[in-house]
Amino acid sequence: MRAIVTVTGKDTTGIIGKICTCLAENNVNILDISQTVMQEFFTMAMLVDLDRSKQPFADLSDELAALGQSMGLAVRTQREDIFTLMHRV
């Protein structure tokens, strides 16, 4: 299964490293990544492959959200199919 992970908040050192480390520790492969800093605001979107993760989707989503919260960021994880349906015109 693939998912979209979005990260937003004030820019600080180590955001990409911490999020990517969490994903790697859960055997999640990053397929594509886009990030930018707009003035002091950080935004990142990742397409990830969850097929090798032993962590249930809800638990991984909660872990990423908690990590983000500890860093003052909003981290959302959505299944690719739901993300696609929500953004279809």
Taking only the tens place, the pLDDT of each residue in 56-86 is 999 999 999 999 999 999 999 999 877 776 7
CB 53 within 8 A of CB 24: no
Residue 26 has pLDDT above 80, yes or no: yes
Rounded to whole angstroms, the Cα distance separating 86 from 23 reads: 24
CB 64 within 8 A of CB 22: yes
Rounded to whole angstroms, the Cα distance separating 22 from 26 reads: 6
Domains and CATH numbers, the chain: 2-86 (3.30.70.260)
pTM of the model: 0.90
Residue 89 has pLDDT above 70, yes or no: no
pLDDT in the model for residue 71: 97
